[in-house]
Chains A and B, each alone.
Chain A
Amino acid sequence: MDKTIDIVLVVVAAVVCLAFTGLMPWAELGMNGAYDNWPLWLRWANENLFLPLPNYNQVAGMGASWTEYLKKSGAESRYGDYAYSLVMGVAMVAAAIGIAAIGREEAEEKTILPVKK
Protein backbone atom coordinates (compact mmCIF):
# COMPACT_ATOMS: atom_id res chain seq x y z
CA MET A 1 0.00 0.00 0.00
CA ASP A 2 1.18 3.47 -0.81
CA LYS A 3 2.85 5.20 2.13
CA THR A 4 0.82 8.37 1.49
CA ILE A 5 -2.39 6.47 2.19
CA ASP A 6 -0.86 5.12 5.40
CA ILE A 7 -0.05 8.63 6.56
CA VAL A 8 -3.53 9.91 5.64
CA LEU A 9 -5.09 7.02 7.58
CA VAL A 10 -2.95 7.73 10.63
CA VAL A 11 -3.75 11.46 10.55
CA VAL A 12 -7.50 10.88 10.13
CA ALA A 13 -7.48 8.31 12.95
CA ALA A 14 -5.55 10.68 15.22
CA VAL A 15 -7.95 13.58 14.55
CA VAL A 16 -10.99 11.36 15.15
CA CYS A 17 -9.49 10.01 18.38
CA LEU A 18 -8.64 13.49 19.63
CA ALA A 19 -12.09 14.81 18.74
CA PHE A 20 -13.88 12.02 20.55
CA THR A 21 -11.48 12.18 23.50
CA GLY A 22 -12.57 15.78 23.91
CA LEU A 23 -16.23 15.42 23.04
CA MET A 24 -17.12 12.41 25.15
CA PRO A 25 -16.18 13.84 28.56
CA TRP A 26 -17.63 17.13 27.34
CA ALA A 27 -20.97 15.41 26.82
CA GLU A 28 -20.59 13.56 30.12
CA LEU A 29 -20.30 16.89 31.91
CA GLY A 30 -23.74 17.75 30.62
CA MET A 31 -22.55 20.35 28.12
CA ASN A 32 -25.12 20.50 25.38
CA GLY A 33 -23.12 22.42 22.83
CA ALA A 34 -24.65 25.83 23.55
CA TYR A 35 -22.23 28.66 22.82
CA ASP A 36 -22.16 29.74 26.45
CA ASN A 37 -20.87 26.32 27.46
CA TRP A 38 -17.82 26.53 25.25
CA PRO A 39 -14.48 26.92 27.03
CA LEU A 40 -13.24 30.50 27.13
CA TRP A 41 -10.25 29.82 24.92
CA LEU A 42 -12.50 28.35 22.21
CA ARG A 43 -14.89 31.28 22.37
CA TRP A 44 -11.96 33.64 22.16
CA ALA A 45 -10.60 31.70 19.17
CA ASN A 46 -13.99 31.74 17.49
CA GLU A 47 -14.41 35.49 17.91
CA ASN A 48 -10.86 36.64 17.23
CA LEU A 49 -9.37 34.09 14.88
CA PHE A 50 -12.56 33.55 12.84
CA LEU A 51 -12.15 29.77 12.83
CA PRO A 52 -14.74 27.94 10.70
CA LEU A 53 -16.33 26.17 13.66
CA PRO A 54 -19.69 24.44 13.18
CA ASN A 55 -22.85 25.45 14.98
CA TYR A 56 -23.09 22.97 17.81
CA ASN A 57 -26.67 23.92 18.61
CA GLN A 58 -27.72 21.96 15.56
CA VAL A 59 -26.36 18.71 16.97
CA ALA A 60 -27.43 19.21 20.58
CA GLY A 61 -30.47 16.91 20.33
CA MET A 62 -28.83 14.28 18.19
CA GLY A 63 -28.62 11.73 20.99
CA ALA A 64 -32.34 11.81 21.80
CA SER A 65 -33.29 9.02 19.40
CA TRP A 66 -30.41 6.87 20.67
CA THR A 67 -31.54 7.36 24.26
CA GLU A 68 -35.08 6.44 23.23
CA TYR A 69 -33.76 3.25 21.61
CA LEU A 70 -31.85 2.31 24.78
CA LYS A 71 -34.93 2.89 26.93
CA LYS A 72 -37.02 0.67 24.66
CA SER A 73 -34.33 -2.02 24.80
CA GLY A 74 -34.53 -2.20 28.57
CA ALA A 75 -31.68 0.05 29.73
CA GLU A 76 -32.80 1.95 32.80
CA SER A 77 -30.01 4.41 33.49
CA ARG A 78 -26.48 5.58 32.65
CA TYR A 79 -27.21 5.96 28.96
CA GLY A 80 -23.91 7.79 28.54
CA ASP A 81 -22.07 4.55 29.32
CA TYR A 82 -23.75 2.93 26.35
CA ALA A 83 -22.64 5.85 24.19
CA TYR A 84 -19.05 5.12 25.26
CA SER A 85 -19.63 1.48 24.36
CA LEU A 86 -20.90 2.42 20.91
CA VAL A 87 -18.10 4.88 20.20
CA MET A 88 -15.38 2.54 21.50
CA GLY A 89 -16.85 -0.26 19.38
CA VAL A 90 -16.81 1.89 16.24
CA ALA A 91 -13.29 3.12 17.07
CA MET A 92 -12.07 -0.45 17.45
CA VAL A 93 -13.61 -1.46 14.13
CA ALA A 94 -11.79 1.48 12.55
CA ALA A 95 -8.56 0.49 14.33
CA ALA A 96 -8.89 -3.12 13.15
CA ILE A 97 -9.46 -2.02 9.54
CA GLY A 98 -6.56 0.42 9.79
CA ILE A 99 -4.15 -2.17 11.20
CA ALA A 100 -5.21 -4.76 8.63
CA ALA A 101 -4.88 -2.25 5.78
CA ILE A 102 -1.43 -1.09 6.85
CA GLY A 103 -0.22 -4.58 7.77
CA ARG A 104 -1.40 -6.12 4.51
CA GLU A 105 1.87 -5.55 2.76
CA GLU A 106 3.72 -7.52 5.43
CA ALA A 107 1.42 -10.49 4.93
CA GLU A 108 3.31 -11.47 1.80
CA GLU A 109 5.84 -14.02 2.97
CA LYS A 110 8.97 -15.07 1.18
CA THR A 111 9.74 -18.76 1.00
CA ILE A 112 13.39 -19.62 1.48
CA LEU A 113 14.32 -23.16 0.66
CA PRO A 114 16.90 -24.66 3.02
CA VAL A 115 20.04 -26.00 1.41
CA LYS A 116 21.09 -29.23 3.01
CA LYS A 117 24.75 -29.81 3.76
Chain B
Amino acid sequence: MYTSIPKGLTDFALAIEKGTNAVISNRYNPFYYHGALPQFYLWVLFLSGLLLFAYYIPTIDNAYFSANLVNAWTSVDYITDKLPMGAVIRGIHRYAGDAMVITIVLHALRVWVTDRYRQYRWIQWVTGIMLLLMVLFVGQTGYYLVWDERSLVLTRMTVSAFDALPIIGPGLKAWFLNGTAITNLTLSNFPFIHIGLSFTLLFGLWMHYVRMTRPVIAPPPAINYMLLAVLLLVVFAYPITSGKMADINSAPTSFDIDWFFLFPYWLMAHVDLVTYWVLMIGATIGLTIVPLPNLYKAANPIEPAEVVLTKCVGCSLCSFDCPYQAIEMVPAPAGSRFKLLATVKPYRCSACGVCVGACAFDAIDLPNLLDTDVTAQIRALAEAKPGA
Protein backbone atom coordinates (compact mmCIF):
# COMPACT_ATOMS: atom_id res chain seq x y z
CA MET B 1 0.00 0.00 0.00
CA TYR B 2 1.04 3.65 -0.53
CA THR B 3 3.74 2.53 -2.97
CA SER B 4 3.39 5.35 -5.50
CA ILE B 5 3.21 8.16 -2.93
CA PRO B 6 6.18 9.83 -1.21
CA LYS B 7 6.27 8.11 2.15
CA GLY B 8 6.88 11.31 4.09
CA LEU B 9 3.68 12.77 2.68
CA THR B 10 1.59 9.77 3.68
CA ASP B 11 3.14 9.69 7.15
CA PHE B 12 2.48 13.41 7.56
CA ALA B 13 -1.20 13.03 6.59
CA LEU B 14 -1.69 10.05 8.88
CA ALA B 15 0.09 11.84 11.76
CA ILE B 16 -2.30 14.81 11.43
CA GLU B 17 -5.25 12.42 11.48
CA LYS B 18 -3.92 10.66 14.55
CA GLY B 19 -3.30 13.97 16.30
CA THR B 20 -6.84 15.13 15.49
CA ASN B 21 -8.21 11.89 16.90
CA ALA B 22 -6.37 12.51 20.15
CA VAL B 23 -7.96 15.96 20.49
CA ILE B 24 -11.54 15.48 19.30
CA SER B 25 -11.93 11.68 19.00
CA ASN B 26 -12.38 9.79 15.75
CA ARG B 27 -16.15 10.36 15.77
CA TYR B 28 -15.72 14.07 15.04
CA ASN B 29 -12.50 13.90 13.06
CA PRO B 30 -13.16 15.78 9.77
CA PHE B 31 -10.51 13.65 8.04
CA TYR B 32 -12.96 10.75 8.20
CA TYR B 33 -15.67 12.80 6.48
CA HIS B 34 -13.49 14.59 3.95
CA GLY B 35 -15.68 13.47 1.06
CA ALA B 36 -18.83 14.69 2.78
CA LEU B 37 -17.51 18.19 3.54
CA PRO B 38 -17.86 19.56 -0.03
CA GLN B 39 -21.33 18.04 -0.24
CA PHE B 40 -22.40 19.87 2.92
CA TYR B 41 -21.31 23.12 1.30
CA LEU B 42 -23.23 22.13 -1.85
CA TRP B 43 -26.48 22.04 0.18
CA VAL B 44 -25.59 25.43 1.70
CA LEU B 45 -25.03 26.79 -1.81
CA PHE B 46 -28.37 25.42 -3.03
CA LEU B 47 -30.31 26.94 -0.13
CA SER B 48 -28.60 30.34 -0.14
CA GLY B 49 -28.75 30.43 -3.95
CA LEU B 50 -32.50 29.88 -3.83
CA LEU B 51 -33.00 33.13 -1.93
CA LEU B 52 -30.63 35.07 -4.18
CA PHE B 53 -32.38 33.70 -7.28
CA ALA B 54 -35.75 34.91 -6.01
CA TYR B 55 -34.54 38.54 -6.10
CA TYR B 56 -32.15 38.38 -9.05
CA ILE B 57 -33.07 40.16 -12.30
CA PRO B 58 -31.00 38.83 -15.23
CA THR B 59 -30.77 41.87 -17.51
CA ILE B 60 -28.07 44.34 -18.50
CA ASP B 61 -30.41 47.24 -19.32
CA ASN B 62 -28.00 49.95 -18.37
CA ALA B 63 -28.43 52.28 -21.31
CA TYR B 64 -29.77 54.91 -18.93
CA PHE B 65 -27.97 55.21 -15.63
CA SER B 66 -30.45 56.28 -13.03
CA ALA B 67 -31.30 55.50 -9.44
CA ASN B 68 -34.37 53.53 -10.44
CA LEU B 69 -32.55 51.37 -12.91
CA VAL B 70 -33.44 47.72 -12.58
CA ASN B 71 -30.90 45.25 -13.89
CA ALA B 72 -28.65 42.46 -12.65
CA TRP B 73 -26.30 44.81 -10.80
CA THR B 74 -29.06 46.80 -9.11
CA SER B 75 -30.88 43.63 -8.07
CA VAL B 76 -27.67 42.34 -6.46
CA ASP B 77 -27.26 45.76 -4.86
CA TYR B 78 -30.83 45.53 -3.54
CA ILE B 79 -30.13 42.08 -2.09
CA THR B 80 -26.99 43.39 -0.38
CA ASP B 81 -28.22 46.70 0.97
CA LYS B 82 -31.97 46.42 1.41
CA LEU B 83 -32.93 42.81 1.91
CA PRO B 84 -32.88 41.68 5.57
CA MET B 85 -29.85 39.42 5.96
CA GLY B 86 -29.33 39.72 2.19
CA ALA B 87 -25.64 40.66 2.50
CA VAL B 88 -25.08 37.77 4.90
CA ILE B 89 -26.84 35.27 2.61
CA ARG B 90 -24.86 36.58 -0.35
CA GLY B 91 -21.66 36.28 1.65
CA ILE B 92 -22.56 32.74 2.70
CA HIS B 93 -23.20 31.84 -0.94
CA ARG B 94 -19.90 33.31 -2.06
CA TYR B 95 -17.73 31.85 0.70
CA ALA B 96 -19.50 28.46 0.62
CA GLY B 97 -18.30 28.25 -3.00
CA ASP B 98 -14.73 28.99 -1.92
CA ALA B 99 -15.04 26.51 0.94
CA MET B 100 -16.34 23.87 -1.46
CA VAL B 101 -13.26 24.24 -3.67
CA ILE B 102 -10.94 24.08 -0.65
CA THR B 103 -12.63 20.96 0.73
CA ILE B 104 -12.67 19.26 -2.68
CA VAL B 105 -8.93 19.87 -3.08
CA LEU B 106 -8.26 18.62 0.46
CA HIS B 107 -10.45 15.58 -0.26
CA ALA B 108 -8.49 14.83 -3.43
CA LEU B 109 -5.15 15.29 -1.62
CA ARG B 110 -6.24 12.96 1.20
CA VAL B 111 -7.35 10.36 -1.33
CA TRP B 112 -4.07 10.71 -3.20
CA VAL B 113 -1.66 10.56 -0.27
CA THR B 114 -3.41 7.49 1.13
CA ASP B 115 -3.32 5.79 -2.28
CA ARG B 116 -7.08 5.45 -2.55
CA TYR B 117 -7.52 6.78 -6.04
CA ARG B 118 -6.57 4.01 -8.47
CA GLN B 119 -7.32 0.48 -9.58
CA TYR B 120 -10.85 -0.36 -8.34
CA ARG B 121 -11.39 3.29 -7.33
CA TRP B 122 -10.51 4.83 -10.71
CA ILE B 123 -14.12 5.80 -11.40
CA GLN B 124 -14.29 7.89 -8.22
CA TRP B 125 -11.11 9.70 -9.17
CA VAL B 126 -12.12 10.43 -12.76
CA THR B 127 -15.63 11.59 -11.81
CA GLY B 128 -14.09 13.61 -8.98
CA ILE B 129 -11.89 15.53 -11.45
CA MET B 130 -14.95 16.16 -13.63
CA LEU B 131 -16.89 17.39 -10.61
CA LEU B 132 -14.06 19.74 -9.63
CA LEU B 133 -14.00 21.23 -13.13
CA MET B 134 -17.77 21.65 -13.07
CA VAL B 135 -17.64 23.32 -9.65
CA LEU B 136 -14.94 25.71 -10.89
CA PHE B 137 -16.97 26.64 -13.98
CA VAL B 138 -20.21 27.00 -11.98
CA GLY B 139 -18.34 29.26 -9.54
CA GLN B 140 -16.99 31.38 -12.38
CA THR B 141 -20.47 31.84 -13.83
CA GLY B 142 -21.51 33.15 -10.41
CA TYR B 143 -19.08 36.01 -10.90
CA TYR B 144 -20.71 36.90 -14.23
CA LEU B 145 -24.11 37.21 -12.57
CA VAL B 146 -23.18 40.19 -10.38
CA TRP B 147 -22.70 42.23 -13.53
CA ASP B 148 -20.12 44.61 -12.20
CA GLU B 149 -17.00 45.64 -14.12
CA ARG B 150 -15.29 42.40 -13.21
CA SER B 151 -18.20 40.43 -14.67
CA LEU B 152 -17.87 42.32 -17.94
CA VAL B 153 -14.11 41.64 -18.18
CA LEU B 154 -14.61 37.96 -17.31
CA THR B 155 -17.39 37.60 -19.87
CA ARG B 156 -15.27 39.15 -22.60
CA MET B 157 -12.24 37.01 -21.68
CA THR B 158 -14.38 33.86 -21.73
CA VAL B 159 -15.74 34.77 -25.15
CA SER B 160 -12.17 35.31 -26.42
CA ALA B 161 -11.08 31.98 -24.98
CA PHE B 162 -13.97 30.10 -26.61
CA ASP B 163 -13.32 31.91 -29.86
CA ALA B 164 -9.75 30.64 -29.91
CA LEU B 165 -10.85 27.00 -29.90
CA PRO B 166 -10.92 25.34 -33.32
CA ILE B 167 -14.13 23.71 -34.62
CA ILE B 168 -16.17 23.92 -31.41
CA GLY B 169 -15.16 27.51 -30.57
CA PRO B 170 -17.88 29.38 -32.52
CA GLY B 171 -20.58 27.07 -31.18
CA LEU B 172 -19.41 27.51 -27.59
CA LYS B 173 -19.25 31.26 -28.04
CA ALA B 174 -22.79 31.40 -29.43
CA TRP B 175 -24.04 29.14 -26.59
CA PHE B 176 -22.30 31.24 -23.95
CA LEU B 177 -23.49 34.60 -25.29
CA ASN B 178 -26.91 33.26 -26.25
CA GLY B 179 -26.39 35.16 -29.50
CA THR B 180 -23.54 37.00 -31.12
CA ALA B 181 -22.97 39.83 -28.63
CA ILE B 182 -23.48 40.64 -24.95
CA THR B 183 -27.18 41.41 -24.58
CA ASN B 184 -30.05 40.81 -22.17
CA LEU B 185 -30.22 37.31 -23.63
CA THR B 186 -26.65 36.73 -22.42
CA LEU B 187 -27.56 37.65 -18.86
CA SER B 188 -30.62 35.42 -19.00
CA ASN B 189 -28.32 32.61 -20.12
CA PHE B 190 -25.93 33.02 -17.18
CA PRO B 191 -28.38 31.99 -14.42
CA PHE B 192 -29.42 29.07 -16.62
CA ILE B 193 -25.79 27.91 -16.88
CA HIS B 194 -25.07 28.66 -13.21
CA ILE B 195 -28.13 26.89 -11.80
CA GLY B 196 -28.46 24.21 -14.48
CA LEU B 197 -24.87 23.09 -14.09
CA SER B 198 -25.24 23.17 -10.30
CA PHE B 199 -28.03 20.62 -10.49
CA THR B 200 -25.98 18.61 -12.98
CA LEU B 201 -23.49 18.25 -10.14
CA LEU B 202 -26.02 15.92 -8.50
CA PHE B 203 -25.80 13.61 -11.51
CA GLY B 204 -22.01 13.82 -11.29
CA LEU B 205 -22.22 12.91 -7.60
CA TRP B 206 -24.35 9.90 -8.44
CA MET B 207 -21.60 8.71 -10.79
CA HIS B 208 -19.06 9.47 -8.08
CA TYR B 209 -20.91 7.15 -5.68
CA VAL B 210 -22.08 4.56 -8.17
CA ARG B 211 -19.65 1.87 -7.06
CA MET B 212 -19.74 2.66 -3.38
CA THR B 213 -22.20 0.70 -1.26
CA ARG B 214 -22.19 3.01 1.73
CA PRO B 215 -20.67 6.39 0.86
CA VAL B 216 -20.36 8.84 3.75
CA ILE B 217 -22.35 11.78 2.43
CA ALA B 218 -23.15 13.71 5.61
CA PRO B 219 -20.78 14.75 8.39
CA PRO B 220 -22.03 14.52 12.00
CA PRO B 221 -23.88 17.58 13.41
CA ALA B 222 -20.88 18.90 15.34
CA ILE B 223 -18.85 19.16 12.12
CA ASN B 224 -21.83 20.66 10.26
CA TYR B 225 -22.12 23.37 12.91
CA MET B 226 -18.42 24.09 12.68
CA LEU B 227 -18.52 24.30 8.87
CA LEU B 228 -21.44 26.72 9.01
CA ALA B 229 -19.79 28.70 11.82
CA VAL B 230 -16.68 29.19 9.70
CA LEU B 231 -18.84 30.63 6.91
CA LEU B 232 -20.68 33.02 9.24
CA LEU B 233 -17.46 34.26 10.84
CA VAL B 234 -15.81 34.79 7.45
CA VAL B 235 -18.91 36.68 6.28
CA PHE B 236 -18.40 39.05 9.22
CA ALA B 237 -14.63 39.29 8.77
CA TYR B 238 -14.79 39.92 5.02
CA PRO B 239 -18.11 41.57 4.12
CA ILE B 240 -19.23 40.90 0.58
CA THR B 241 -18.87 43.77 -1.88
CA SER B 242 -19.53 44.50 -5.55
CA GLY B 243 -17.61 46.61 -8.00
CA LYS B 244 -19.02 49.38 -10.16
CA MET B 245 -21.91 48.56 -12.44
CA ALA B 246 -20.74 47.20 -15.77
CA ASP B 247 -20.97 49.59 -18.69
CA ILE B 248 -21.09 47.75 -21.96
CA ASN B 249 -19.45 50.73 -23.71
CA SER B 250 -16.46 50.81 -21.38
CA ALA B 251 -13.42 48.59 -21.37
CA PRO B 252 -12.31 47.89 -17.77
CA THR B 253 -9.07 45.94 -17.72
CA SER B 254 -8.25 45.15 -14.10
CA PHE B 255 -10.19 43.42 -11.35
CA ASP B 256 -9.75 41.63 -8.03
CA ILE B 257 -8.91 37.97 -8.42
CA ASP B 258 -10.64 35.29 -6.36
CA TRP B 259 -7.90 32.69 -6.50
CA PHE B 260 -10.28 29.83 -5.76
CA PHE B 261 -12.25 30.29 -8.95
CA LEU B 262 -10.66 32.88 -11.17
CA PHE B 263 -7.07 31.61 -11.46
CA PRO B 264 -7.71 30.50 -15.10
CA TYR B 265 -8.38 34.16 -15.94
CA TRP B 266 -5.09 35.16 -14.34
CA LEU B 267 -3.39 32.58 -16.53
CA MET B 268 -5.33 33.79 -19.57
CA ALA B 269 -4.09 37.33 -18.93
CA HIS B 270 -0.46 36.21 -18.83
CA VAL B 271 -0.20 33.77 -21.75
CA ASP B 272 -1.60 33.62 -25.27
CA LEU B 273 -4.86 31.72 -25.73
CA VAL B 274 -3.30 28.72 -27.49
CA THR B 275 -0.88 28.21 -24.61
CA TYR B 276 -3.77 28.72 -22.18
CA TRP B 277 -5.85 25.94 -23.70
CA VAL B 278 -2.86 23.62 -24.02
CA LEU B 279 -2.11 24.13 -20.32
CA MET B 280 -5.74 23.77 -19.18
CA ILE B 281 -6.51 20.71 -21.31
CA GLY B 282 -3.12 19.18 -20.47
CA ALA B 283 -3.69 19.68 -16.74
CA THR B 284 -7.17 18.13 -16.97
CA ILE B 285 -5.96 15.09 -18.89
CA GLY B 286 -2.96 14.73 -16.60
CA LEU B 287 -5.12 14.73 -13.47
CA THR B 288 -7.66 12.39 -15.03
CA ILE B 289 -5.23 9.69 -16.11
CA VAL B 290 -3.39 9.62 -12.78
CA PRO B 291 -5.20 6.47 -11.62
CA LEU B 292 -4.59 4.43 -14.76
CA PRO B 293 -3.31 1.11 -13.43
CA ASN B 294 -0.61 0.95 -16.08
CA LEU B 295 0.95 4.16 -14.80
CA TYR B 296 1.46 2.80 -11.32
CA LYS B 297 2.15 -0.86 -10.92
CA ALA B 298 1.00 -2.06 -7.54
CA ALA B 299 3.76 -3.57 -5.39
CA ASN B 300 1.32 -6.22 -4.25
CA PRO B 301 -1.17 -6.91 -7.06
CA ILE B 302 -4.70 -7.38 -5.80
CA GLU B 303 -5.88 -10.98 -5.71
CA PRO B 304 -9.67 -10.76 -5.89
CA ALA B 305 -11.86 -12.79 -3.57
CA GLU B 306 -12.98 -16.21 -4.76
CA VAL B 307 -16.33 -17.89 -4.16
CA VAL B 308 -16.28 -21.55 -3.09
CA LEU B 309 -19.04 -22.79 -5.35
CA THR B 310 -19.79 -25.89 -3.32
CA LYS B 311 -20.40 -23.87 -0.16
CA CYS B 312 -22.28 -20.75 -1.42
CA VAL B 313 -25.96 -20.80 -0.46
CA GLY B 314 -26.86 -17.58 -2.30
CA CYS B 315 -27.82 -15.63 0.85
CA SER B 316 -26.49 -12.32 -0.60
CA LEU B 317 -24.83 -11.22 2.68
CA CYS B 318 -21.44 -10.77 1.00
CA SER B 319 -23.07 -8.74 -1.77
CA PHE B 320 -24.79 -6.46 0.76
CA ASP B 321 -21.59 -5.90 2.72
CA CYS B 322 -19.16 -5.38 -0.16
CA PRO B 323 -18.10 -1.69 -0.07
CA TYR B 324 -17.40 -1.55 -3.81
CA GLN B 325 -20.31 -3.48 -5.29
CA ALA B 326 -17.86 -6.09 -6.51
CA ILE B 327 -20.11 -9.07 -5.76
CA GLU B 328 -23.09 -9.80 -7.96
CA MET B 329 -25.72 -12.40 -7.21
CA VAL B 330 -26.51 -14.45 -10.31
CA PRO B 331 -28.95 -17.35 -10.83
CA ALA B 332 -27.45 -20.57 -9.50
CA PRO B 333 -26.55 -23.26 -12.04
CA ALA B 334 -29.11 -25.94 -12.87
CA GLY B 335 -29.28 -28.65 -10.28
CA SER B 336 -28.30 -26.40 -7.38
CA ARG B 337 -30.39 -26.49 -4.21
CA PHE B 338 -30.23 -22.68 -4.04
CA LYS B 339 -31.63 -19.93 -6.20
CA LEU B 340 -28.62 -17.58 -6.31
CA LEU B 341 -24.85 -17.77 -6.47
CA ALA B 342 -22.32 -15.08 -5.55
CA THR B 343 -19.85 -14.02 -8.25
CA VAL B 344 -16.93 -11.64 -7.86
CA LYS B 345 -16.19 -8.88 -10.37
CA PRO B 346 -12.38 -9.00 -10.14
CA TYR B 347 -11.71 -5.48 -11.47
CA ARG B 348 -13.88 -3.99 -8.72
CA CYS B 349 -12.53 -6.14 -5.88
CA SER B 350 -10.14 -4.49 -3.44
CA ALA B 351 -9.39 -7.72 -1.57
CA CYS B 352 -10.47 -5.97 1.63
CA GLY B 353 -11.92 -9.17 3.12
CA VAL B 354 -15.26 -7.71 4.20
CA CYS B 355 -17.08 -10.46 2.26
CA VAL B 356 -15.05 -13.11 4.03
CA GLY B 357 -16.25 -11.77 7.36
CA ALA B 358 -19.82 -11.46 6.08
CA CYS B 359 -20.15 -15.04 4.89
CA ALA B 360 -21.52 -17.40 7.51
CA PHE B 361 -20.72 -20.48 5.43
CA ASP B 362 -16.98 -20.08 4.68
CA ALA B 363 -17.98 -19.81 1.05
CA ILE B 364 -15.73 -16.91 0.06
CA ASP B 365 -11.99 -16.54 0.54
CA LEU B 366 -9.09 -14.33 -0.36
CA PRO B 367 -6.56 -16.49 -2.23
CA ASN B 368 -3.62 -15.12 -0.26
CA LEU B 369 -5.43 -14.80 3.04
CA LEU B 370 -7.45 -17.67 4.35
CA ASP B 371 -10.55 -17.21 6.47
CA THR B 372 -8.77 -18.46 9.55
CA ASP B 373 -5.92 -15.97 9.02
CA VAL B 374 -8.36 -13.05 8.67
CA THR B 375 -10.17 -14.01 11.88
CA ALA B 376 -6.86 -14.39 13.67
CA GLN B 377 -5.75 -10.91 12.54
CA ILE B 378 -9.03 -9.31 13.63
CA ARG B 379 -8.86 -11.09 16.98
CA ALA B 380 -5.27 -9.94 17.48
CA LEU B 381 -6.21 -6.32 16.69
CA ALA B 382 -9.25 -6.45 18.97
CA GLU B 383 -7.28 -7.91 21.82
CA ALA B 384 -4.51 -5.35 21.36
CA LYS B 385 -7.05 -2.53 21.81
CA PRO B 386 -7.74 -1.90 25.50
CA GLY B 387 -11.42 -2.01 26.41
CA ALA B 388 -12.49 -3.72 23.18
Contact = CB atoms under 8 A, between A and B. Distances in A.
Contact of A103 (B222, B225, B239, B241): B222
Contacts of A13: none
Contacts of A45: none
Contact of B385 (A96, A97, A111): A111
Contacts of B86: 78, 81
Given A103-B28, A107-B26, A92 B232 contact: yes
A90 B379 CA distance: 44
Interface residues of B, number: 42
Interface string B16-29: 00000000111110
Contact of A93 (B24, B82, B229): B229
Contacts of A111: 382, 385, 388
Interface residues on A, range: 35 or more
Given A77-B81, A99-B222, A82 B235 contact: yes
Given A89-B229, A107-B25, A111-B388, A81 B87 contact: yes
B25 A70 contact: no
A10 B228 CA distance: 21
A106 B27 CA distance: 8
B108 to A, nearest CB: 25
Nearest to B238: A73
User: Chain A contact residues: over half helix, strand or loop, or mixed?
Assistant: helix
Contacts, number: 108
A113 B385 CA distance: 13
B226 interface: yes
Nearest to A91: B229
B333 interface: no
B357 interface: yes
B28 A88 contact: no
A76 B360 contact: no
B81 A92 contact: no
A82 B235 CA distance: 7
Nearest to A74: B241
Interface in B358-387: 360, 362, 375, 378-379, 382, 385, 387
Nearest to A86: B236
A114 B357 contact: yes
A82 B222 CA distance: 23
Interface string A101-117: 00110111011011011
Interface centre among B222, B228, B236 (most CB of A within 10 A): B236
Given A81-B85, A84-B85, A104-B27, A96 B225 contact: yes
Nearest to B357: A114
Contact of A81 (B88, B223, B379): B88
Among A73, A77, A89, chain B packs the most CB atoms within 10 A around the CB of A89
A98 to B, nearest CB: 8
Interface of B: 24-28, 80-82, 84-88, 91, 220-223, 225-226, 228-233, 235-239, 241, 357, 360, 362, 375, 378-379, 382, 385, 387-388
Interface of A: 70, 73-78, 81-86, 88-93, 95-97, 99-100, 103-104, 106-108, 110-111, 113-114, 116-117
Given A73-B238, A81-B85, A86-B232, 20 more contacts: A74-B241, A76-B81, A77-B80, A77-B82, A77-B87, A81-B88, A82-B236, A82-B239, A84-B88, A85-B232, A90-B229, A92-B225, A92-B228, A95-B222, A96-B222, A100-B27, A107-B25, A107-B28, A113-B382, A116-B360
